Amino acid sequence: MAENKKTRKEIEKLREEIRYHDYKYYIENQPVISDKEYDALMQKLIKLEEKHPQFMAPDSPTQRVGGAPAEGFGEAKHIVPLLSLSNAFSFDDLEAFDKRVKRMLGLPPDRDIEYVSELKIDGLAINLTYENGRLVKGATRGDGFRGENVTNNLKTIHAIPLRLRGEKIPRLLEVRGEVYMLHKDFQGLNKEREKSGEPLFANPRNAAAGSVRQLDPKITAKRKLNIFTYASGEYRDGRIETHIELLELFKSLGLKVNPTTRLCKNTREVIKFCRNWTEKKKGSGYDVDGVVVKINSLRLQEKLGAVTKSPRWAIGYKFPAEQATTRIKEIIVQVGRTGALTPVAIMEPVGVGGVTVSRATLHNEDEIKKKDIRVGDRVIIQRAGDVIPYVVSAIKEERTGREKKFIFSKKCPVCGADVSRPPGEVVIRCTNISCPAQIKETIRHFTSRGAMDVEGIGDAQVEQLVEKGLIRDPADLYYLKKENLLTLERMGNKLAANILEAIEKSKERDLSRLIYALGIRHVGSHIADVLAKNYSSLDKLSKARAGELFSLPGIGPIVAKSVELFFKQEGAKKVIDKLRRAGVKLEIEKKKEAPQILVGKTFVLTGILEEFSREEASEIIKGLGGRVSISVSKKTDYIVAGKEPGSKYTRAKELGIKIIKEKEFKKLIKRS
């Protein structure tokens, strides 16, 4: 026993020492030992853990190498939504933002507001969740409310602490950050890929995003990824008054914060910061596409709140876009799932904003006429951040006379049906709701992961199913038979059976996902959630009128009208009727209140559960009257221990608290 205690103490001491050197190297950029000495410490720890596996911990520095490949990423919900920013493209936009903020806060126009200016890193937004200082979950932004669980991949990034430092460690902390890749590391990665005959990454952002989303964490571990943290979501413990204080807390906890961040007394100082970094951005060593401007006072942030997808207290200033010149070879028209016809310029390839571009949107017919864009023109194209490249203007002085004006056809380029331009709109639409282009896009959306998530139905399958006339709308999926699927290319018995099983399984998706899957214009996953919570069935929603929809949180007049018009369409009514007859769940099930068998009992969850996510297990416990805590104390009744339990497990043993495995937990909750 004494020997074990000594070994455990030695392991913990080694871990702390390595964490300290990680902090000095990756956060402060001031290493105090050589690489050789660091490697010796790591090897010593690895050997000790291998010899004494009972002391293994998920937050040990040895766990950064990456585990076994995942079959796919699970879903991870953010406790507080990870919203995107509205954009400012000029200093006038920043001034207008400042005026708008003052108006909403009831402040006089000449009153200064403190802002924090931070470089807008062009990387991948992620959300880290720490419980009692330990990293328990890492996720991508996703739709802002739920993303992909990429915890094991993010653990391989040395700049992300697996355990927070310092004395003021919150019980629960969501940390928002941007994963990025330094230019030198990006160039090195592409050189390696070129040597091995692999396709090159277009830019550092794509490389970072692709690396984080590798199913095999060992691949992620080989990529030199970095991170800057910039905001919090959920934060329990202590009180912070300003955003600058929050960033100082992050630094004290061992989180990496961009050192260029500045506190500005007013918009004049914000504009000075933006102007300065417009010139300096290329010397930063990583991709920067703008400046994020936030109100410093957290009290004012809370008072201003947010609209559906963006906070009212922050804005992203975009640096002036990069431009290039090229020639338009032809103009084609694409048809989207709502029937919108979009003209696209096919151009001679040209590099702009770090990406080779050969296509650019021309937006609509009015835009082409206004700019007088012609086939054969030399044009200026522009790309800013991840915005789709677009044609700024034609270089008319270089015309030869052989250029041709583009005339929109009166017929749909896909199905040949008439096209129309609804009053008050600039978009021309195909009038045929059975247009193959619309059907294909509609079905792709319906079966996508965030919608009905029908595994096995990809682009190739959708193309063939529509071309063969096997499906004409999403509801037809539920009437497919095995013999239908076997007529598709590369389709065997097993794959066909799996697809039919996935289709059957999708009948039980939540109402919110079904609403989103229907492809109603302007209705994303969040709006679909709002609609599902306020209308318990698709039938009730179909009878709602724009006036009552407009009263719901986050829904404006355009969205409200769009929802009402969708359900008035005969085509939509037919699809819903077919879904009903196929057995697709069109309403929220009324659940019986579970017997409150866990009233007065406090649970703590630790480790990895196989059949439940932590959120699911927590909801079950609460539904049965119990309480879930994130920390162990003498008042804890049960520890539910999954694989790789951590310090909570050890603490529970010390206090003599009852520890149950997942199997016992399932028996306990089944009593209901």
**Domain containing 258 — which CATH number?**
3.30.470.30
Q: What are phi and psi of 667, to 5 degrees?
A: -65, -40
pLDDT over 80 at 42, yes or no: no
The CA R_g of the chain, rounded to the nearest whole Å, is: 28
For 410, the token pair is 């009166």
Tell me the pLDDT tens digit for each residue of 427-470: 888 877 668 888 888 898 899 878 898 988 888 898 899 888 89
Whether 136 and 263 map to the same domain: the answer is yes
Q: Please, what is the Cα angle at 487 between 483 and 490, to 5 degrees? A: 120
With pLDDT > 70 as the criterion, what percentage of the chain qualifies? 93
Helix (H, G, I), strand (E, B), or coil: what is residue 537? strand
Residue type, 149: N
Q: Are 519 and 442 in contact (CB under 8 A)?
A: yes
pLDDT over 60 at 386, yes or no: no
For 473, the token pair is 């709308």
Confidence of residue 591 (pLDDT cuts 50, 70, 90): low
Q: Are 109 and 41 in contact (CB under 8 A)?
A: no
- Does 649 reside within a domain? yes
The whole-number pLDDT of residue 58 equals 74
- With a CB cutoff of 8 Å and minimum separation 6, the contacts of 664 are none
- Chain centroid, CA 403 distance in Å: 43
CA–CA distance, 218 with 156 (Å, rounded to integer): 8
pLDDT over 80 at 210, yes or no: yes
Q: Which long-range contacts (CB under 8 A, 24 or more apart) does 236-242 make?
A: 236/170, 236/171, 236/172, 236/173, 237/168, 237/169, 237/170, 237/171, 237/172, 238/168, 238/170, 240/298, 241/297, 241/298, 241/299, 242/114, 242/296, 242/297, 242/298
With pLDDT > 90 as the criterion, what percentage of the chain qualifies? 37
pLDDT over 70 at 94, yes or no: yes
Surface-to-core class of residue 416, CB atoms within 10 Å of its CB (0-12 exposed, 13-18 middle, 19+ buried) = exposed
**Domain containing 571 — which CATH number?**
1.10.150.20
Active-site choice (120, 155, 256, 648): 120
pLDDT over 70 at 267, yes or no: yes
Whether 515 and 636 map to the same domain: the answer is no
Tell me the pLDDT tens digit for each residue of 496-538: 999 999 999 999 998 999 999 998 888 887 788 889 888 989 9
Kindly give the pairing relationship between strand 602-606 and strand 627-629: parallel
For 161, the token pair is 């602490």
- Does 643 reside within a domain? yes
According to DSSP, the residues that pair with 131 across neighbouring strands are 134, 172
Residue type, 625: G
Whether 620 and 554 map to the same domain: the answer is no
Average the pLDDT over 22-45 and give the result: 72
Whether 174 and 28 map to the same domain: the answer is no
**Domain containing 329 — which CATH number?**
2.40.50.140
Q: Of 189, 161, 158, 153, which is closest to residue 66 (Cα–Cα)? A: 153
CA–CA distance, 442 with 385 (Å, rounded to integer): 28
CA–CA distance, 58 with 74 (Å, rounded to integer): 19
The residue that leads in pLDDT, 355 or 596, is: 596
Whether 631 and 661 map to the same domain: the answer is yes
The whole-number pLDDT of residue 483 equals 92
The whole-number pLDDT of residue 425 equals 77
Q: Are 440 and 336 in contact (CB under 8 A)?
A: no
Among this protein's residues, is 585 annotated catalytic?
no
The whole-number pLDDT of residue 314 equals 95
Average the pLDDT over 413-427 and give the result: 82
CA–CA distance, 165 with 23 (Å, rounded to integer): 9
**Domain containing 18 — which CATH number?**
1.10.287.610
The whole-number pLDDT of residue 194 equals 72
For 74, the token pair is 């699970």
Whether 326 and 305 map to the same domain: the answer is no
- Does 164 reside within a domain? yes
Lowest mean pLDDT among 45-59, 246-260, 510-524, 534-548: 45-59
CA–CA distance, 63 with 154 (Å, rounded to integer): 11
Whether 150 and 95 map to the same domain: the answer is yes
- Chain centroid, CA 624 distance in Å: 32
- Does 426 reside within a domain? no
Confidence of residue 138 (pLDDT cuts 50, 70, 90): very high
CA–CA distance, 593 with 605 (Å, rounded to integer): 23
Whether 208 and 97 map to the same domain: the answer is yes
pLDDT over 60 at 66, yes or no: no
Whether 145 and 256 map to the same domain: the answer is yes
CA–CA distance, 445 with 535 (Å, rounded to integer): 22
pTM of the shown model: 0.55
Whether 609 and 563 map to the same domain: the answer is no
Whether 125 and 272 map to the same domain: the answer is yes
Of 550, 582, 614, which residue sits at a domain end?
582
Q: Are 76 and 139 in contact (CB under 8 A)?
A: yes
Number of domains in the chain: 5
Kindly give the pairing relationship between strand 658-661 and strand 638-641: parallel
Of 530, 550, 582, which residue sits at a domain end?
582
- Chain centroid, CA 407 distance in Å: 39
The residue that leads in pLDDT, 37 or 505, is: 505
- Does 70 reside within a domain? no
Whether 163 and 220 map to the same domain: the answer is yes
Confidence of residue 28 (pLDDT cuts 50, 70, 90): low
Range of the structural domain that residue 374 is part of: 322-405
The whole-number pLDDT of residue 70 equals 45
Mean residue pLDDT across the chain: 86
The top-scoring range by mean pLDDT among 218-222, 279-283, 336-340, 541-545 is: 541-545
- Does 425 reside within a domain? no
- Chain centroid, CA 336 distance in Å: 23
236 DSSP 8-state letter: E
- With a CB cutoff of 8 Å and minimum separation 6, the contacts of 6 are none
The top-scoring range by mean pLDDT among 11-20, 232-241, 556-565, 572-581 is: 572-581
- Chain centroid, CA 467 distance in Å: 33
The residue that leads in pLDDT, 457 or 322, is: 457
The whole-number pLDDT of residue 69 equals 40
Confidence of residue 11 (pLDDT cuts 50, 70, 90): confident
CA–CA distance, 115 with 187 (Å, rounded to integer): 35
pLDDT over 90 at 348, yes or no: yes
Of 582, 610, 643, which residue sits at a domain end?
582
The whole-number pLDDT of residue 506 equals 93
According to DSSP, the residues that pair with 178 across neighbouring strands are 125, 228
- Does 102 reside within a domain? yes
Q: Report the interhelical angle of 459-467 vs 436-447 (nearest 10°).
A: 140
- Does 312 reside within a domain? yes
Average the pLDDT over 621-625 and give the result: 83
According to DSSP, the residues that pair with 201 across neighbouring strands are none
**Domain containing 652 — which CATH number?**
3.40.50.10190
CA–CA distance, 148 with 143 (Å, rounded to integer): 10
Average the pLDDT over 253-259 and give the result: 94
The whole-number pLDDT of residue 83 equals 86
